[in-house]
Amino acid sequence: MASTAPIYSLAGEARTRAESAAWARFSAAKDAQEFCASWLAILCSQVERASAALLLLGPDHQGAYAAAAVWPDSARSMQYLAPVGEKVLKQRRGLVVAPDGASAPTRDQPAYVGYPIEVSGTLYGAVVLDLLPGPEPELQRALRLVHWASAWLVDQFRQRVLQERDLRLGRLGLATDVVATAIQERRFAPSALAVVNELASRLQCDRASVGFDASGSIEVQALSHTATFDPKTNLVRLIAEAMEEVLDLDVAVLFPAQPGEELGAIAHAELAREFKDTAILSVPLVESGHAVGVLTLERVGGEPFDAGELELCKTLGLLLGPILALKRENDRGELLRLHEAFSGATRDFFGPRHPGLKLIGLFVGGLVLFCSLVSGEYRVSAKTVIEGAVQRAAVAPFQGYIAEALVRAGDVVKKGQVLCRLDDKDLRLEQAKLTSERDQALAKYRQALGSQDRASMAVTAAQVNQSQAQLSLVEEKLARATLVAPFDGIVASGDLNQLLGTPVDTGKVLFEITPLDAYRVILKVDERDIAELKAGQRGELALSGIPHDVMRFAVKQITPVSTAQDGRNYFRVEAHLDNPSERLRPGMEGVGKISVGDRRLIWIWTHPLVDYLRVWLWKWMP
């Protein structure tokens, strides 16, 4: 209890000397412990009622806070102030309590003053003062002094945070530079050599090396500042043994080991003894959670590797592992990679593990055997288009203008139905003109007939015949100015609604009409399958517009001329429909399948690949 604790006090002169000495130690503090002790002494010398003080700092790796400084005697036990400090750390605010730790102090009671040390929301500790009884104003003054004095510690911790941040940024920059160095080189060997040279230079190491796992043992791939080396030398052998030790332990190895973390690194100790190394650090290179190699750093003379360098190298092991492993994989030949993949698959299939892979293999083998013994119907597939058996074109009979369009593509028409009309104003004017000229010639002919002028009769008779012929031609054009459907059918092409009033030339196709009850199927068969087809074979057709209505057809004719389309050659095959659908229309597209005969299922599914390989091999054979 506080009442049983001894109380210390200083006389004024002694207090002044102690304060001066504390300021001297504070301004020239060599470490954090001396800084905290002198700071606490200065604070207590300013607070006249202070009899004892405790400074708690932390947290450590276990989250605990420990005494960093005690005043006035570092050997004195301050256990009675610990509950107040714990309360301040828990509540993260300043407290003033009586010795019982709960109630407020009276004028005649000592007071325990606690104040947290917090920087940017992070709690670093607390300071607790034991004050002698006194008036309230002195207690308020003590609280202000504690608040102001805590700024020194806050500044110290901020500087520490900035230093740690700068250190982390420096290590991050180093890691980034090393990764960039590894990526810069395309091949594995130059990349590994560049990495070890960079690490040896940046981490002040006498030697850096990289090794990779090869069938359970380590092969040293690169030594810093060494372009070539003999893998049988004693140095390379000892480095490889140290790396194998890392793979066996599957952890980073630091020699000399930190207290309490000895791993029995015998190979590292042997390497250090043989080549007078003062410090060795080895970290695994990890890819997909597995160690595939080791990075080893050695210092012959210098400081041992610290915890920060250890964490940096562990991070580099995680970053460099996938990069170097990928470059090493890419440097191997195709045959070697194929052999390793095949060997791995064989081991997995015939080994004691991977039962799922074995089940899949048995299923695939059974499926291949089944397809090799069972036959099925082989059908040649081809893109198909429906065309009308007859297609009639309605063309412009003369030069003119479109006056009226009554149908368009897709309309069903009857025989004699008007399709469109051409403008006949000019023809009618010409008809009136020619009629007048004919009448004049007839009048002259009658006059010559009355006068018995045989010469005039012959001339005027010729004029009458000429005018009548021209008039008949115009009347024929007028009769053909209205285009009509030649038979019942559907308009396959032609839409003049947007061309009203535009001129057309003689012979221009205005409409194409095809009948509704006569169709033919046009199949575009690939040249690789044309040898299987012949006239009379039957098949089935499914169109995109009516996919559920499957129609049967028979091959009628195979055109022996191919056409190129989309980089392939196709032959035109004509077929006749047996049961055309009422919904069938010219221009519909779909897929037709022609039955060729029975084949083995495995041949049906593999013959395109086999044929391609045959052609490819024939191309490269001498």
The percent of residues in the chain predicted with pLDDT above 90, rounded, is 12
Q: Which two tokens stand for residue 170?
A: 């420096």
pLDDT of residue 263: 62
Q: How many of the other CB atoms lie within 10 Å of CB of 539?
A: 24
Q: Is residue 332 pLDDT above 80, yes or no?
A: no
Q: Quote the CA–CA distance of 242 and 230 in Å, as a whole number.
A: 17
Q: What is the mean pLDDT of the chain?
A: 83
The position carrying tokens 């000895």 is: 262
Nearest by Cα to 240 from 260, 220, 266, 263 = 220
Residue type, 615: V
Judged by DSSP in three states, 97 sits in: strand
Res. 5 pLDDT band, cuts 50 70 90? very low
- pLDDT digit string, tens, across residues 474-533: 888 877 788 888 887 888 777 777 778 788 888 888 888 887 777 788 899 988 888 888
The percent of residues in the chain predicted with pLDDT above 70, rounded, is 95
Res. 297 pLDDT band, cuts 50 70 90? very high
Q: Is residue 2 pLDDT above 50, yes or no?
A: no
Q: Quote the CA–CA distance of 490 and 210 in Å, as a whole number.
A: 80
- CB neighbour class for 161 (10 Å; exposed up to 12, middle 13-18, buried from 19): middle
Going from the N-terminus, what domains does the chain have, and what CATH number goes with each?
2-163 (3.30.450.40), 185-332 (3.30.450.40), 392-512 (2.40.50.100), 518-620 (2.40.30.170)
Res. 262 pLDDT band, cuts 50 70 90? low
Cα Rg of the chain, angstroms: 52
The position carrying tokens 């004693």 is: 234
The position carrying tokens 């700071």 is: 39
Q: Which two tokens stand for residue 369?
A: 């055997």
- pLDDT digit string, tens, across residues 564-615: 888 888 999 999 888 887 788 788 899 999 998 888 888 888 888 888 888 8
Q: Is residue 9 pLDDT above 60, yes or no?
A: no
Nearest by Cα to 593 from 379, 284, 355 = 379
Asked whether the beta carbons of 585 and 490 are under 8 A apart, the reply is yes
Asked whether the beta carbons of 223 and 229 are under 8 A apart, the reply is yes
The position carrying tokens 């009948």 is: 515
- pLDDT digit string, tens, across residues 163-196: 777 777 877 888 888 889 888 888 888 999 999 9
Res. 103 pLDDT band, cuts 50 70 90? confident
Q: List phi, psi (to 5°) of 41.
A: -65, -40
Res. 238 pLDDT band, cuts 50 70 90? very high
Res. 422 pLDDT band, cuts 50 70 90? confident
Task: Report the Cα–Cα distance between both ends of the chain, in Å, rounded.
Answer: 105
Q: Quote the CA–CA distance of 86 and 217 in Å, as a whole number.
A: 54
- pLDDT digit string, tens, across residues 368-394: 888 888 888 899 999 998 887 777 788
Q: Quote the CA–CA distance of 615 and 186 in Å, as a whole number.
A: 37
Q: Which two tokens stand for residue 345?
A: 């698959």
The position carrying tokens 């301040």 is: 88
Q: Name the maximum alpha-carbon separation found in the chain.
A: 174
Beta carbons within 8 Å of 476's beta carbon, 6+ residues apart: none
Asked whether the beta carbons of 271 and 250 are under 8 A apart, the reply is no
Q: How many of the other CB atoms lie within 10 Å of CB of 53?
A: 23
pLDDT of residue 220: 92
Res. 1 pLDDT band, cuts 50 70 90? very low
Say which residue, 390 or 255, is predicted with more confidence: 255
Nearest by Cα to 382 from 598, 541, 148 = 541
Nearest by Cα to 6 from 132, 105, 101, 143 = 132
Asked whether the beta carbons of 414 and 435 are under 8 A apart, the reply is no
Q: List phi, psi (to 5°) of 286.
A: -110, 135
pLDDT (average), residues 92-98: 86
pLDDT of residue 592: 93
- pLDDT digit string, tens, across residues 194-224: 999 999 998 889 999 999 988 778 899 999 9
pLDDT (average), residues 390-401: 81
The position carrying tokens 């006194």 is: 134
Nearest by Cα to 280 from 267, 293, 261 = 267
pLDDT (average), residues 535-539: 91
Q: Quote the CA–CA distance of 214 and 228 in Å, as a whole number.
A: 19
Q: Which two tokens stand for residue 312?
A: 């940096």
Q: Quote the CA–CA distance of 227 and 6 in Å, as a whole number.
A: 73
Cα 254 to Cα 241, 279, 294: the distances in Å are 15, 8, 13
Task: Read off the DSSP letter of residue 80.
Answer: G
pLDDT of residue 207: 92
Q: How many of the other CB atoms lie within 10 Å of CB of 282?
A: 29
Q: Quote the CA–CA distance of 378 and 590 in Å, as a whole number.
A: 19
Q: Quote the CA–CA distance of 321 and 442 in Å, as a whole number.
A: 112
- pLDDT digit string, tens, across residues 12-69: 566 667 667 767 777 776 777 888 888 888 888 888 788 888 888 888 777 788 888 8
Q: Quote the CA–CA distance of 377 and 364 in Å, as a whole number.
A: 22
pLDDT of residue 223: 93
